[in-house]
Chain A
Amino acid sequence: MLGMTRKDAMMLAIVAIVALLAPFILNPFPVDSGFAQFNAGYPDLMQRFAIFGIFAIGFNILFGLTGYLSFGHAAFLGVGSYAAIWMMKLLTTNILPGMVMGIIVAGLFALVVGFISLRRSGIYFAILTLAFAQMSYALAYSVLTPITGGETGLQLKLNDARVLDAPLAPGERADANLFGIDMTSSYDLIVGGWQFTFNAGYYIAAVVLVLAFYLSIRIFRSPFGMMLRAIKSNNTRMTYTGLNARPYALAAFVISGMYAGLAGGLMVAMDTQVGPERMFWTASGEVVLMTILGGAGTLIGPVLGAGLIKYMENIISKINSSILHEWFYWMPDGLEDFVITLIYPFVGKGWHLTLGIVFMLVVIFLPGGLVEGGQRIKRLFESKKARKTSDQTTPAE
């Protein structure tokens, strides 16, 4: 189906269905219940799930398949964002030209950076990409201020040129839209105590995510994908068979740069502003965390990792000491305080600590990420079942 095996088609279908039903799945708790803060079904966060999912899928095409660890991928995201917002400032508030331009510009930038960086591999490649990203960040922050808006960044303004759009009526704002569908428009469905928000921007991002996921399945299963895996598993042997690995690696680098540009363009489409901090190296580190946490080299892993990290960032960071007191009020006083002092460093502002610990545990014990964890659990059950059946078949003495 669509050039995929049954299993891949199933996976794509699951992703599509989950993306479609996300407003329901992410809002399992009624609005006025104590657990409402665990609801992640609000538009801003759902959009970020989709956008960072795309970013991580793209990063995985480079790191998961070829093994080249780029520590500067946020630069492409930032460049894509800047390109997109300029399209929206100059041409039209329709997000389509912006996204296309984001992909193109990020792809060209990735071509230049990749052409230079791929001359080296391993730690040197990581440092080269890091150097390029830090340079872009520093330049966007200082010298390129006329293009990037410097520290304040760029926003849509009323007096932007927008040659394709009709002039704004007085009092009208320049909102990002797709052929008239406003990104911020949403529809609230209230069922009993539950509230489900269906946001136009999220669904557009989700459609792009499903398309991006489909493309990555095709790349993974294609001969080209096999070549990329060959680079990771044994570059020397590949060279000995008479193949030049660099064009393949460069192609993977450019593709993953374009994915980052797409994510950047979408980010601008959802929230019409850009700042240079988007290119800082911690942002590059974040996408590495997402991919590893989910499972590098697997199809679904990066999406899971991106979702998990963004969920933690938004939900765990909201838990403060009064919420903790609410949860543990049933304990005896001394014990309550003790438990809260134990938990407190890991939640609220300290959520990075939780993230760091989870990440270290994953790298140490589960190099394949969450996906490997799932497979191990599955195998555990299967082998138990297998043992049981084999026990039954062996005749007793």
Chain B
Amino acid sequence: MLTSIKNECAIVGIGMTEISKNSGRSELQLAAECVLTAIKDAGLEPKDVDGIAGFTLDHVDEIEVARAVGIPELKFISRMPHGGGQPMGLVQQAVMAISTGVCKTVVGYRAMNGRSGARYSSGVADGAETADKISWGWYTPYGLLTPTGWCAMNTQRYMYEYGATNAGLAEIAVTQRAYANNNPNAIFYGSPITFEDYHNAPYIVEPLRLYDCCIETDGGAAFVVTSAERAKDMPHPPAMIRGAAQGVAFDQEVITSYYRDNITFLPEYDLVAKQCYAQSGLGPDDLDAAIIYDAFTSIVLFQLESFGFCKRGEAHEWVQGGTLGIDGRLPTNTHGGLLSEGYIHGLNGLCEAVRLLRGTSVNQPKKNIENMLVSSGAGMPTSAMIIGKM
């Protein structure tokens, strides 16, 4: 019979480099540093690792990472497509390989000079005839060149249909900046913003303003997954993986899924939510905190609705009044998120989720965090996971 993945595996190690605007070193070095930190954090040696999962768009080959840190052989390697859509897809890969006995311990990583090197905000370029490149050609001649632009289109329609203002977006931006203000590893450590700052900031792509958009940074983040059995003997309390899922929904494009009947929600999030809840046997009421992928403030709204924390069209009101703050119903992105800590394609969020379960976040809520949600990028094939205490 088929197996269930619930509580079969755990995240037992996390590692990050510093987050900066100019790392001054290669992406391979960043990758090697964070991978080694994660392995050590788990109390393991490189020789204990026999699987690696990474991103297709990482410039660093997994075998280069293996050589650099001294992982002698790998029985499992894979790459996940669609960048920010797949950090939790990496976790799923690890769980699949470990729970079937294909390998024992998997490292997932992402390292990027996202600020000093190639920047996503500079827009997509042309090139060879692939399905992907053909697709960009429907947007670039008109000047819709960046993720901000693509995402703003759904945001505008959401605000129109539900009569939403920027108030909900401002709440998210200001709350997360407050978290970052307290996080020494955040780009925006020690620089909070007010609601006034938010509204005075210039538009990037209307209706999205400067502080609706994440920052671009250099840095690396990695994690180690092993079986729950082995996790018991490791130095830190394990973050048990209760569910991990991927999803592509009908008529999916990469951030430009504009041709569906309704573009005010992202059905791929509904799909991963459904699977994560089914795998874990949990529901939104069981979740005590969340790391919600926040390349832009508005996609946090879409996810809160898809994951069932509030009804469709209500998230822009639900978030107001401190819901996502440290004492709120759902402390969210307590590291500052992609908006204010740094942008390492969601793997920095994964590390923060593990810290919240360990009780070691710089913004640790007073309440017990038993179960939490971690999600991935918006508008593209996406992924999510639910993790909890042993």
Q: Do A and B interact?
A: no
